[in-house]
Structures are given as structure tokens and as C-alpha cells.
Amino acid sequence: MPAMHDSTVKKTPVQQMAKFISVMLSGKEANANWMKTYEHITQIKKQVDQQWKASSAKVYNLRLFDLVLDNQKRTRTKVQSKYKDLLSMAFDLLNGVNENGKNKLNFRFLSPRVMPVMPDKMQSEKRVLSPSIMSFYKDDSPDNIISLPKLLEKSGMAEKDRQAVLEMIMDVSGARVAIEMALDVLNKTNVFDLDDIIFETTKKINQAFKDLRKSFSIEQKNDMKSRGFTFLEASQLKQILRQQGVKELDDVNFDLEKYEQLNRKEQEDMLWKNIERIAENETEERYRKKREAIPMLPATILAPFMFSPSFGLSILGPVVLSPSIFSPLILNPSILSPYILSPGVFLPFLISPYILSPYILSPLVGAPYILSPYVLSPNIINPYVLSPLILSPYILSPDIISPQALGGQILSPNAFSPSIYTDSVLSVNVLSPTWMSK
């Protein structure tokens, strides 16, 4: 009891009142404060920067030609330099923006920011009727109307009292909860340890292939040299299945007995038919999924797809390590379906709202959101290019280390969605007010 009394005495009346209001309105006392949360985000940003600058990152960012010549920047072949694609021109434009300054290239129109938690990600000199009102940080810009830290400072409060009041407002409003939810998703996905996981998986695959090559016949070895592929015998397929932990053949969608009876020509015919079906996206599994009224989709892992539009409601269908191209989402609402390490190119969202579906390390290019609101779906280390939001409001979906370019928000208000370490260039915000956000 005395210890409790001492801890109470240490708090000023303002701090005690702020704590009381926070407990009364939120129902519980906060276990962590905003400064600790912000420090955690800062550490994550440092980790991302360190991994980007690490020597091991060159393997993914540079061509083999550049690695041999020790070039610091990626070069292009003569053909690539002559015929630049759209994405290359976009990234060249962004590089020029970064070198020459980006403040003059963003524009806001009728998009006020009410009680923003973080500085504006769109550092723009062109604002029309788009002020920042009652910001949670010190803001000396002419567009700012009342900064809470300055207001509390002028009231004569001590630093700790001002911090306590700001903490109380963050707790009661729910802004800090939204950010901590995003960080919790990031921690549970363990993205910073994925290098080790992928390395171990690759190592197992390499070992399995080495063991398989030892069993190749002379004919199979000749096929590999001349054609680059060969057909396995039934015994070799069984060996692979055993190494992958498959005990019953019924567990895999493959008729091994039927395969064993095929001759060489029939095997080749079956191979080309399967390739044709995959190219046309006409797998049996796809048709089974389409017939379900509310599909409880299994996780999609290591399954890249292209020219494959998605329709219908999906629940519990996470997508992991599965890049996509020209695969629009049309009337495709989703719940609990996160995208992790699954980049997409030309992936428009058309009337496809989603809930509890975060995007983590899944950069999107050419992915406009049209009539696609989202809730409780943070973007974490997730860059966007050519991906504007149109009539797509969002709530409790913070952007953390997710830069955006050649996009913006049109008629897309948002609330409780702060942008942290998230820059925006060549973007436009029109009629998109924010509340307790960026």
C-alpha cells in the first residue's frame, strides 16, 4: 500500500487527471506510451535502411554484370536502354524528383488534416483550402491552425504534463491503438527474419534436387543437357514425395498409377496440355473455388499468377510470396486475407473492399483503388507507384515506411490512419480530408 501511495504522489494533478480520463473512456490503462511506440517505429526504419544498404542486397538489386564490375548502380542492356518501358521511365522520373526536390510536385485541394498525428507525407507548397488543424506535433508551417504541443506549452504546463495530456488524447482517440496494431502484424509476420527462412527453404530444395540427379538414367541426363527438362520415373516421384513429408499419395492431386502407364509421347502431350491449362487459368482447383458461395480459401504460397482476375468474396485467403501481373480484383471483397511479399503490377481494385487484410512488403505498381474502402488493413514497408485512391475511404489503416509516387487520393477521406516514415511525391489530394491521421 505505501508503494502505491508513493507512485501516486509522484504524479502531478494534470498527469493524474489525464490518466483518470484515459481509464474512464478507454476502459483500461495504457501499457505503453506514444514515445515508446514511435521509438519502435524508428528502430524498424533503421533496420530497413541497414538491410537496403547491406552488401547482400546487391544480389537482388544489381545485374550479375554490375556485380562483376563492382558498379554501385544497376545498368541496362543496349536493348533496354533503347526501348524503355513504362516502369523504368516512372522510376527515372522519381530519381530526378529526389535529386531536385519534391515539395513543389504535390498538390492538395479541399483536403484538410484534422488532428494529424504525424507530419504530412505530401510535403507540398501547393495547398488550396487544405490546412492542418490541431496537430499533435509542433508545426510552424503557415497552413497549420493550432498545434496542440504549442497550445499546451503556452498554457504554462510542464513538459511531463503536456506529454501526459497528449498521451491521453492519443489513447482516447484510438490513434495509438491503430499504430500498435500495425506493428503487431509486422512482428508476427517476422519479416526481418525471412532471409534465414528463405535460405533454409532454398537449401532444402537444392539438396532434394541433388539427391534426385544422382538417380537420373543416361536418357534423363541427355534430356537435361539437350532440352533442359526430363520426365521422372514413378520411383523418383515417390522419392521426392517422401522427402517432402507426403505419406499418402491421396494427399497430392496427382494420379501416380496413371502416370506410370503413360508412354513417352503421352507424357509430352500431357505436359503441353497442362501448360496450356495453366496459361488459360483453367485449373480444376479454380473452378472448385468459383462454385463456393463463400470461399474459405487456403493460403496461396509461392504461386505467381497473371491475367487472372479475381471475383467474389474471399475469407482467410492469405497470399504469400505470390507476385501477380494484369490480375484485377473486381467485386472481390476480402476478410483476413493479407498480402505478404507478393508484389503486383497493373492490379486495379474495383469495388473490392477489404478488412483485416494488411499489405506487407508487397509493392504495387499500377494498382488504383476505385470504390474499394478498407478497414484495419495497415500498409507496412509497402511502396506504391501509379496507385491512386478514388472514392476509397479507409479507417484504422496506418502507412508505415510505405512511400507513394504518382498517386494520391480523390474523394477518399480517412481516419485514424497516420503515415509514419512515409513520403509521397508527384501526388494529388482532392476533397480527401483526414482525421487523426497523416
Would you say 174 and 416 are in contact if contact means Cβ atoms under 8 Å apart? yes
| Predicted local distance difference test score (pLDDT) of residue 344 | 92
For residues 290 and 271, the answer to whether their CB atoms sit within 8 Å is no
- Distance in angstroms (rounded) separating the CA atoms of residues 132 and 113: 5
Residue 334 confidence (pLDDT): 92
Alpha carbon distances (Å) from 285 to 280, 292, 297 = 13, 11, 11
Output the pTM of the full model: 0.63
Q: What local confidence, expressed as pLDDT, does residue 292 receive?
A: 42
Q: Which three cell numbers stand for residue 302?
A: 509461392
CB 294 within 8 A of CB 313: yes
Q: 436: Cβ–Cβ under 8 A, 6 or more apart, which residues?
A: 114, 115, 116, 117, 173, 174, 175, 415, 416, 418
Cell representation of residue 352: 473490392
**CA-only gyration radius of the chain, Å:** 27
Residue-level pLDDT at 290: 41
Helix (H) or strand (E) holding 145: strand 144-147
Calpha distance 249→256 (Å, rounded):
8
Residue ranges, the chain, pLDDT below 50: 1-9, 83, 283-293
Helices (H) and strands (E) in the chain, counts: 16, 32
C-alpha cell at 211: 539427391
Q: How far apart are CA 115 and CA 170, in angstroms?
A: 10
Residues 6+ apart with CB under 8 A from 418: 116, 117, 118, 175, 178, 179, 398, 399, 436, 437, 438
User: For the chain, which domains are there?
Assistant: 24-192 (no CATH), 215-279 (no CATH), 284-396 (2.160.20.80)
